[in-house]
Chain A
Amino acid sequence: MNNPILAVERLSVAFNHQQKVVDDISFAIYPGESFALVGESGSGKSITALSVLRLLPNNARLNAGAISLQGDNLLNRSEFELCKIRGRRIGLIFQDPMSSLNPVMTIGSQIEEVINIHFDLPKKVIKQRVLELLQQVEIPDPKQRIKDYPHQLSGGQRQRVMIAIALAAKPDLLIADEPTTSLDVTIQAQILALLKNIQQQTGMALWLISHDLALVSTMADRVAVMQQGKIVETGVTADFFSNPKHPYTRKLLNALPLMSSCLTHSTEEKPPLLQVNDFKVYYPIHKGIFKRIVDHVRAVDGVSFDIQQGKTLALVGESGCGKTTLGKSLLNLIPASGGQVKINGIELSSLTGEQLRQQRANIQIVFQDPFSSMNPRMLVGDIIAEGIRALHPSINSAERKARVRQLLQQVDLPENSAQRYPHEFSGGQRQRICIARALAVEPKLIVCDEPTSALDVSVQAQIIQVLKSLQQEKGVSYLFITHDLAVVAEIADDVAVMYQGKIVEQGSVAQVLTQPQHAYTRKLLDAVPVLKTEK
C-alpha cells in the first residue's frame, strides 16, 4: 500500500497519573479507506481520536512516539498551527447531533463559519459552497433550509448538517465518532449510505469509531478492536469477522444477538395474562390565552394486544412512535385516555387510589437509563426494599433484609451491594439492581423499556440472560420495548411493531422477522446492519 494518511505510533494517554486510558497503541489509516476502531464504552476509542487532534482535557497526559498526518508529525506542531489542521485536514463528527450544533445560529451560518476560518473567499462563493454542501449531504430544498435553526431539523438532518460542517473544508480524513448511535435504524442506514457515497466522491479516508460490530462489518475496510486502552486485534474486515483470532474479539462476536435465534422459540399457547384493548393515550394541545384544547397528539392511538403468561412480547418501533408512552401508561404513570387494560382478569383502568396502589405489585417496570432510574442518595438495599416496604408493610426489617439478599443473588450481584450507593456500580450492574427492584414485589409482568440500549453488547447479552433465566424460574412475563430487532429475536416470543401510535403488525417472532407483511416492518428489517458472516 502507499503512504498512510495518518500514522499513530505508541500513543498513550493517562488522566492524573492514574491508569492509562490509552495504552501504547499504534495504527495507520491509508488514503481512501474506511478504518474502524471498535470497542466497548470506556475502552479509550474516543480518547484516541481526541488525542490525535489534541483536544484532550487539561488533566490528560499524552505520550506518543509520533502522530503523523501525511508524514507531518503533529506532536511538533504548536497549538496555533494545529488550529489550521483541525477542520481543514481532519474533519470530525460527534455522536450527538442535538448538542453539537449551536441552537441560536442558523445552519447556514454554522457551515459558513468553518469555510471562513480556513479559506479567504468572497461571500458569494462561500454561499455557493454552503449550498453545494447541503446538496451533497442530501438535505432537501437547501435554499430554504439554509436559514433554518437546528431545532427545525430532525435528528437525521442535524447529523447531515454536522457532516456538511465536517466536509466544509474538504478534509483528507474524516473522523466519525459514533455517528449514528443516537439515531433510529432507518435513519442510521441513510446516514451510513451517505457517508459511503461521499467517501466515494471525494476519496477521503474515513475513520469510524463505533461499538457496533454489525455496523462496522458493513462499513469498514479494516477493523481494529480496542480493549481497555489496548488494540488487541487488527485485520481486514472480511478476514476479521470470519476468522477472529483474539479471545476478546470472539467474545464480542458471540455476545451479538443473532437474528436467526428467533427460530428456536417454542410456540406453545398459554392463557393470556395481560389483555389490552383499544388503548389510547392522547396529549392535549393547548392554544390561545384561555388554553383551550384545540387538538390532541395521539401518542398511542387505539392499540390492542395480549401477553401470555410466562412469555415475552416485544414492542418494536422507532423513537417517537409511542412505545415508551404505551409502556408507562400501562402502569398508570401516564394517564390513559381510553381503552381497557386487564391483568389476570382485573380491570386496571377503572381502579383509583388505594385499590390501584395494591394492584401495582402485578406490573413493574425497568427503565432504559440505569443512571437516572435510581435515587443517587439511597443505598442499594433500600432501593430494592422500597417496594416491599410500600406494598407489604407487615414484613419486618429482618425478613426484608433477607429478601433483599436473595434478590441480589438472583441477579448475580454480591451480597454487600446492599450497603453501597448506585454510583459505585457499572451500567450493567445498575440495570440488574433495577431488575431486582422490580422483582421485589413479585410482579406477574415486567415492562422492560429499552433495558439494554444504554449498555455494551457483552453486558447486554448478560442482562438478557438474567431476564431469560428469571422468566424460566418465576414464570414472569415481559413486555420488552426496544428498537433493536436483533435483541427481539433473542428474547421475544411474540412481536408487535408500532408505527405512529398504532400497531401495524403483530405475530410470533419467527413469523414477523422472517415473513414481514407490513411495508414498515420490511423497511425496519432492511435497515438493520447485519454481520456479513451471517448471510
Chain B
Amino acid sequence: MIILWTDALIFILNAIMLGLAFYMHGKEYIKRPMQQIYRSKIGMVSLVVLVFFVLIGLMDSVHFKATGNKTNEIISLLDYWATPLREHGEKTYSAPFATTLYSKEMMTLADGTTQWGYPRLEFGGSHLDEPETQRIPDILQKGLYGFAQGAGLVAFFMVLLWAMLARQHKQFMHSSTVKVVWVVVFVIVSLSYALIYLSAYYHVLGTDKVGEDVFYQAVKGIRTGLVIGTLTTLIMLPMAIIFGILAGFFRGWIDDVIQYIYTTLNSIPGVLLIAASILMVQVYMANHEEAFTSVVVRADMRLLFLCLILGVTSWTGLCRLLRAETLKLREMEYVQAAQALGVKQGTILLRHILPNVMHIVLISVVLDFSSLVLAEAVLSYINIGVDPTTYSWGNMINGARLEMAREPIVWWSLSAAFVFMFALVLAANLFADVVQAAFDPRRAGNE
C-alpha cells in the first residue's frame, strides 16, 4: 500500500470528522439541532448523496502498486475494481452505448476490400452480432438485470437491518424521513449497480478523444473534486477565520497589518500566483526526479500544491466578511458584558465571536466549494490546473471544449462532468442549508 500526500490528508480529515462526531454525540445541546437534521428530508437525502460521493472518493484514495503483467503502476482500489473500464480503450470518440465509432473511417473488411464507414468498437457492444437490431433490447435487458441485482442487494440488507433494529427503534424506523432515505439508498445503489453491470459491455457515457471511457473519468473526477473542495477550504479557513476575527476584534495596528496583507494579496491577479507556484513545483520535481518517479506521485504533488495555492489566494473574501461581522459583534452588549465579567479576550473570541460568525463561514465554505471545483476547470484550461494525467471534471470540460463546435456535437464528456459536478455541489449546498438552519438557535425556535 502506498500513501500519497493527498491520501494522507484525506484520511486525517475523515478521522477529524469522525472524532468530532464522536465528541459531539453525547452533548445535550447538540442533540436538538441533530434531531432537526435527522427530521429534515432534504437534509438526509443530500447527506446520503454526499456520503455516496465521499465513499467513492475514499475508495479512490487507497493506493497500491499493481502487480499485473504491465508496468508496476500505482493504482487505487477503485481502479482495481474498474480494471475492465480502465483497460477497454477504444480508438477515439464514441457516443454513449454506441457500438461503432463516432466518425467514419476507411476500414478493411474481412474479404480484403476497403469501405468508408463507421467501424465497430473494439469493446463496446462487441458481444453483439447484429448491433442494429439487438442493441436496444440488449441494453434494456442488461440494465434491468443489473438493477435487479442491486435492488436485491439493498433489499437483503434492508431486511437484515429491519430485523435488527425494528424492535428497539420502532418509532425511528417508521418515521417518514427514514423511508425517504431508504428510497434514495435503494435508487442510488440499484442504479449504480445497473450502470456497473452495463459498463462491462458498453461505454455507458461514451469515450473521449483518445478512446477512454467517460464514465470511468467522471467517477475518478469525484476524488479530485472532493480533494480540491475540501483541502483548499481546510487551508483557507484557518487563515480567513483567524485573520478576520483578529482584525475586527482588536482594531488598531493589527487591523492595519491584516488589511494591508489582504489588499496586497487581492490586488495581485490570483492566476499569476497560481501559475508561478505550479511552475515552481514542476521545476522542483524536475530537479528531484529520484523522489518523484511515478506519474501518479507527480500528479498528486501538483494537485496538493494547487490546493495550497488556491487556499492562499482565496481566503481574502471570507476574511473581509468576517472582519466586518466581528466589527459589528464586538460592539454587541453581550461582548461588553463578558468584558465586564472579566472574561479573557481569547475566551471572548472563542466563545462569543466565533460561534456567531460560523453561519457566514458555513455559507461561504459551501459556496466556495462549488466555485473551487469550477476554478479547477478554468485553471486546467490555461494549463496550470491539475496535472493533465489527473482525471478531473475540469480536465474533462477542458477537453470537451474544443469539440463543442463539431457537427454533430460531442456532448457526453461535458454532460457527464456537468451532471456529476451538479449532483455533488447541489447536495453540499442543500445539506449546508439544513445544517445552518438547525444550528441557528434563533431560527430553530420558529420552525
Q: Is B344 in contact with A423, judged by CB distance below 8 angstroms? A: no
- Interface size on A (CB < 8 Å)? 35
Residue A367 CB within 8 A of the other chain: yes
Mark A341-367 against chain B: 1 for CB-CB distance below 8 A, else 0: 000000000000000011011011101
A305 to B36, CA, bound (A): 54
Residue B28 CB within 8 A of the other chain: yes
Q: Is A333 in contact with B342, judged by CB distance below 8 angstroms? A: no
In the bound complex, residues from chain A placing their C-beta under 8 Å from that of B441 are 376-377, 421, 423
Residue A218 CB within 8 A of the other chain: no
A18 to B413, CA, bound (A): 53
Q: Is A423 in contact with B442, judged by CB distance below 8 angstroms? A: yes
Residue B239 CB within 8 A of the other chain: no
A376-B442 CB under 8 A given contacts A387-B341, A437-B341, A441-B341: yes
A86 to B29, CA, bound (A): 49
In the bound complex, residues from chain A placing their C-beta under 8 Å from that of B352 are 375, 378
B26 to chain A, nearest CB (A): 15
Residue B20 CB within 8 A of the other chain: no
A357 to B336, CA, bound (A): 13
Residue A129 CB within 8 A of the other chain: no
Residue B343 CB within 8 A of the other chain: yes
In the bound complex, residues from chain B placing their C-beta under 8 Å from that of A357 are 342, 344
Q: Is A372 in contact with B334, judged by CB distance below 8 angstroms? A: yes
A333-B355 CB under 8 A given contacts A357-B344, A373-B333, A376-B442: no
Residue A331 CB within 8 A of the other chain: yes
Listed residue (A364, A367, A377, A387) with the most chain B CB atoms within 10 angstroms of its CB: A377
> Taking chain B's interface residues, is the majority helix, strand, or loop, or is none over half, making it mixed?
helix
Q: Is A419 in contact with B28, judged by CB distance below 8 angstroms? A: yes
A358-B337 CB under 8 A given contacts A378-B351, A419-B28, A424-B445: no
Mark A12-34 against chain B: 1 for CB-CB distance below 8 A, else 0: 00000000000000000000000
Residue A300 CB within 8 A of the other chain: no
Contact pick for A372, options B333, B339, B340, B341, CB 8 Å = B333
A437 to B338, CA, bound (A): 10
Closest residue on chain A to residue B336 by CB atoms? A333
Residue B347 CB within 8 A of the other chain: yes
In the bound complex, residues from chain B placing their C-beta under 8 Å from that of A438 are 337
In the bound complex, residues from chain B placing their C-beta under 8 Å from that of A306 are none
A331 to B28, CA, bound (A): 35
Closest residue on chain A to residue B342 by CB atoms? A360
Residue A386 CB within 8 A of the other chain: yes
In the bound complex, residues from chain A placing their C-beta under 8 Å from that of B277 are none
A259 to B355, CA, bound (A): 45
Closest residue on chain B to residue A441 by CB atoms? B341
Q: Is B342 in contact with A365, judged by CB distance below 8 angstroms? A: no
In the bound complex, residues from chain A placing their C-beta under 8 Å from that of B445 are 421, 423-424
Q: Is B340 in contact with A365, judged by CB distance below 8 angstroms? A: yes
Q: Is B28 in contact with A437, judged by CB distance below 8 angstroms? A: no
B338 to chain A, nearest CB (A): 6
A363 to B342, CA, bound (A): 10
Listed residue (A361, A365, A438) with the most chain B CB atoms within 10 angstroms of its CB: A365
A361-B342 CB under 8 A given contacts A379-B29, A390-B347, A424-B445: yes
In the bound complex, residues from chain B placing their C-beta under 8 Å from that of A376 are 356, 441-442
Closest residue on chain B to residue A331 by CB atoms? B340
Residues of chain A from 417 to 436 with CB closer than 8 A to chain B in the complex: 419, 421, 423-424, 434
A464 to B30, CA, bound (A): 36
Q: Is A364 in contact with B336, judged by CB distance below 8 angstroms? A: no
Which A residues fall within an 8 A CB radius of B?
Answer: 328, 331, 333, 357-358, 360-361, 363-365, 367, 369, 372-379, 383, 386-387, 389-391, 419, 421, 423-424, 434, 437-438, 440-441
4 nearest A-B residue pairs (beta carbon): A387-B341, A360-B342, A373-B333, A390-B343
